Amino acid sequence: MHLGCDHLCDFQDACIRKVPIFSDLSKEEVHRFQEAVHSKIFAKGQFIFRQGEKSKGLFVLSDGLVKLTILSTDGKEQILRILYPGDFFGQYALLENKTYYANAEALRQTTVCMISKEEFLKIIGHSPKTMFQFLLSVNQKLHESEEWIGARSFLEVEQRLTRYLLYFYQKNNHPGQAFNLPIPKKDFAALIGTTPETLSRKLVGLKKRNIISLEGPRGIKIIDETALQAMVGDIGR
């Protein structure tokens, strides 16, 4: 589904400005992006791109949820990251001119804005400030990835759990309210490197200490954010 700028420039503008590095673009730069942006709606379970496909461009998640996964040689799926509105992805394949290292799959109905590789490189080539901010943001994402890898390697299960709960909470559109886990608990357990049984025990333990409340199959409400923050731990870098 292609959405033309003639009718949806406001939508394109909102999509662009959801990404922090593009939030202070000049009107002229925004117009360039508007002309280059294409939007598409994906149903739950549809792939935005698949591991091994050639890079198409830079993607911005406008609405919905996306999971990045890789498949092992035996077909086992490993979730790498959950993406929320405002997140951009596909940047590594774009910059390195390589194929995608992961799959990007919609977790529910999702709207994605895409800027083709050629148009994106052309635009940032005319805007050193935007290029610098983009590279800084890419570096930050690499740093965050290292943090998650370090957490999986050196932190206890409860510390890994609290990190992700706070991450999901901070990404929630309505802070202070209950939020749903974006993936089933069995997948969440795999994401933090534990078993579903251990995950359930840890969640119940946090509930008994009045740090969280459990609301339905996936619903969680953080009652004591300070206590949860204190449990995050340091990977000792």
- Residue 114 sits in a domain of what CATH number? 2.60.120.10
Residue 130: CA count within 13 A, CB half-sphere:
21
Q: Are residues 42 and 144 in the same domain?
A: yes
Q: Does any domain span residue 237?
A: no
Do both 45 and 123 map to the same domain?
Answer: yes
CA distances from 201 to 76, 151, 161, 219 (A): 25, 20, 11, 16
Please determine, for residue 179, whether its predicted confidence score (pLDDT) is greater than 50.
yes
Which among 10-19, 101-110, 170-179 has the top mean pLDDT?
101-110
Rounded Cα distance, 106 and 235, in Å: 31
Do 74 and 14 fall into the same domain?
Answer: yes
Mean pLDDT, residues 199-226: 94
Res. 228 pLDDT band, cuts 50 70 90: very high
Beta carbons of 66 and 107 less than 8 angstroms apart? yes
Q: pTM of the entire structure?
A: 0.80
Boundary of a domain, candidates 125, 151, 177: 151
> What's the rounded mean pLDDT across residues 199-223?
95
Residues 173-181 have a mean pLDDT of 82
- Asked if pLDDT for residue 6 goes beyond 60, the answer is no
Read off the tokens for 96: 């390195």
| Top-confidence residue, 12 or 80 | 80
If asked whether residues 146 and 183 sit together in one domain, one would say: no
Domain of 9, in residue numbers: 5-151
* Per-residue pLDDT, 237: 43
End-to-end CA distance of the chain: 45
7 has pLDDT over 90: no
Distance separating alpha carbons of residues 194 and 124, to the nearest angstrom: 42
Domain count, the chain: 2
Residue 219 has pLDDT above 70, yes or no: yes
For residue 214, the domain's CATH number is 1.10.10.10
| Same domain membership, residue 213 and residue 131 | no
